[in-house]
Chains A and B, each alone.
Chain A
Amino acid sequence: SNRLASNIIFNENNTTLKNLLKVSTLLKDSNDVVLVNYKSSSEPTSVELPTNSSKFSRVYEINGDNIKEPELVSSLLASVLQDNADVENVIFNTQTLSKSIFPRLAAQANVQPTNDIVKIIDENTFIKPTFAGNLLSKIEYSPSNKIKTKILSFRASNFPLDDAEEVITLENIAKTNDIPEEAKILESVPYNKFVENNIPDSTGRPDLTAAKVVVTGGRGLQNKENFEKMTSLLADSFVASKKYGNTKASIGATRAVVDAGHANNSLQIGQTGKIVQPELYIACGVSGAIQHLAGMKNSKVVVNINKEEGVPLEQISDYTLIADANEAIPELAKKISEL
């Protein structure tokens, strides 16, 4: 057959699929996308895609409600990879399941993977953050040491669509191909069995890593009760903001606050927590340790509310308000809710 060189996209999360398609186009101008849809009932089925890349040459499906174990998902992907021997790149988003899968898949394919790519220079050259984001490193795949397939993970939010790109909404992407040997793989690969997820209630807030606005509380918010009160107050006020789609902001926390038990650890932003990149980041009583900055420094606009002047966060903030966050937040939240 006359197939073009193709990329596999592992779609763990419908909201970032359009960004991964952008990545695929940047890697190879005219390409043929093989989609592996990780479908789970907790995800919305409808998905927004750029019009020019809304067709897939093949669509495989993994049932995410039944198959949650990275060992199994990785082996199913290996089988898809074998079924598409001409694939040049396997593209992942940087999120939980993908992060534990792509290195396993790469090792089994005898390929050195690259994680957390924020910029594509060309199809063999990538930029990724290192040292808690204090430095960027340029990674080059040697063309003379040609490997058949590169296995790569990307920070999806670094690859937005252009303003001019048209999008369409698909209600469902239909499966076209079965994963070869699926039943055999599920039976023979050893895995740690999924028992349960413990997900704290986010009371209607968007996922931290996908949020347009993030309100983060630090040590300056003093205690658990106050942390909850202040961050919710400010985050909820964004329902009045048309610019950000009239939705609540997400709430984040620093490691210090999580360690002190004032916030659940799923809220931690930083080198070892979540990496967020919202359009607006409001830090309340956060001094900004380098590990914290690593998790948020690429936010588009940073607002820093701190009673102390000259905290490290100030250096990367667009707006700094020198004030006690506990006094400033209610006032600011009131103004935003009256927008």
Chain B
Amino acid sequence: MALPKLNILVPVKRVIDYSVTPKLNADKTLKITNFAINPFDDIAVEEALKLKKLSDKLATKVNVVTITNNYENDLKGLKSILVNSMAKGADEVKILSVNNSKGYDLSPLSIAKLLKNEVTKNDYNLVICGKQAIDDDSGNVGSMLAGLLNWKQANNCCKVEREENKFKLTKEIDNGEQVVEGELPMVLTTDLRLNVPKYAPLPKIMKVKNKPIKVEEVSIDDIENKQATITEYMEPPSKKQGKIFTSVDELFTQLKNDKVI
């Protein structure tokens, strides 16, 4: 029995570098200086390429797409993420440039709708998303896209195995793991332990870095995008300096006095 051809889409987002703490400007807007690919999306790219390696390479496509509504400003950073994906082995990369919602964050609903269009237009049968972006920590897009497409979904995958026509997926759940299985099409979201992304090899980066990157202009429903918006960022309340001890005895006595135990 011939296995179905894999046509994989990996949506990626450029976010704050995970090792950096975000700061606020005086006007409560975000001040972020270091950006990188969302770590879970990096895992998604890696997993897609791993699947390609294990399948018929010629019959498998891995395409990477990213979305911006601030093209001029984001171009350089997005390009570097996409060049990396190409150097690692992605077949095609693309920027969807939203031309009508400047100044507002793109909502997960808008993003899921743009991705749905991509999927239907290009006959993808597998979408691999990061389980959440580490900036807004929402984790909505994967399930929303699956909902819009009325596809199967598997969230927080830590193991993806292909068995004939079926995919067997191990998902992380609150108190352990859950195994599910099904045939394509479906949307997967990646958890931390799925794989460890490799760095793109420098010679390959040099080889692809001048390849033109496809940019497609798209529009969203601007009113709908503003259904729910982030209107303010705040620092969480800070805690006052705690007490310091050097012996268990002192600590225990204090905990008892303070009625903590």
A residues contacting B by CB (< 8 A) are 68-71, 74, 95-96, 99-108, 110-116, 127-142, 145, 147, 189-200, 202, 207-209, 241, 243-244, 255, 259, 264-266, 271-272, 274, 280, 290-291, 297, 301-304, 309, 314-323, 328, 331-332, 335-336, 339
Contact = CB atoms under 8 A, between A and B. Distances in A.
Contact of B107 (A112, A127, A134, A332): A112
Given A101-B143, A192-B169, A198-B179, A138 B135 contact: no
Contacts of B145: 107
Interface string B12-44: 000010100110100000100000000010000
B164 interface: no
19 contacts: A103-B141, A107-B109, A110-B109, A112-B109, A131-B16, A132-B137, A145-B227, A147-B227, A191-B152, A192-B153, A199-B175, A266-B175, A272-B131, A314-B244, A318-B243, A319-B245, A319-B251, A319-B254, A323-B247
A319 to B, nearest CB: 6
Given A297-B236, A339-B261, A139 B230 contact: yes
A195 B181 contact: yes
Nearest to B186: A192
A316 B24 CA distance: 20
Nearest to B189: A100
A138 B231 contact: yes
B98 interface: no
B223 to A, nearest CB: 6
Interface residues of B, number: 82
B232 interface: yes
A132 B134 contact: yes
A140 B243 contact: no
A265 B169 contact: no
Contacts of A128: 137
Given A70-B153, A74-B147, A142-B226, A115 B246 contact: no
Contact of B137 (A142, A271, A309): A271
B228 A112 contact: yes
B246 A321 contact: yes
A191 to B, nearest CB: 6
Interface of A is mostly: mixed
A131 B21 CA distance: 8
Contacts of B234: 127, 135-138
A332 B244 contact: no
B255 to A, nearest CB: 7
Interface string B199-224: 00000000000000000000000011
Contacts, number: 253
A69 B248 contact: no
Contacts of B40: 272
Query: Interface residues of B: mostly helix, strand, loop or mixed?
Result: mixed
B69 interface: no
A264 B191 CA distance: 15
A190 B152 contact: yes
Given A96-B173, A135-B234, A301 B260 contact: yes
A96 B107 CA distance: 22
A194 B154 CA distance: 10
Given A192-B152, A319-B255, A323-B246, A137 B179 contact: no
A104 B146 contact: yes
Nearest to B236: A136
Contacts of A138: 230-234
Contacts of A133: 236
A116 B141 CA distance: 15
B142 to A, nearest CB: 8
B227 A107 contact: no
Given A115-B140, A266-B176, 10 more contacts: A103-B108, A103-B141, A104-B144, A129-B137, A131-B135, A138-B232, A193-B180, A195-B180, A243-B261, A244-B261
B247 A142 contact: no
A197 B178 contact: yes
Contact of A140 (B172, B223, B229, B247): B229
Contacts of A243: 259, 261
Contact of B168 (A195, A274, A301, A336): A195
Nearest to B256: A339
Given A190-B152, A271-B137, A335-B248, A195 B228 contact: no
Nearest to A320: B244
A272 B192 contact: yes
A322 B251 CA distance: 10
A276 to B, nearest CB: 11
B174 interface: yes
A309 B246 CA distance: 10
B248 A314 contact: no
Contacts of B251: 303, 319, 321, 332
B182 A192 contact: yes
A321 B243 CA distance: 9
A202 B154 contact: no
Given A108-B147, A141-B227, A323-B248, A103 B186 contact: no
A331 B248 contact: yes
B87 interface: no
A131 B134 contact: yes
Contacts of B169: 192
B147 A104 contact: yes
B232 A137 contact: yes
B193 interface: yes
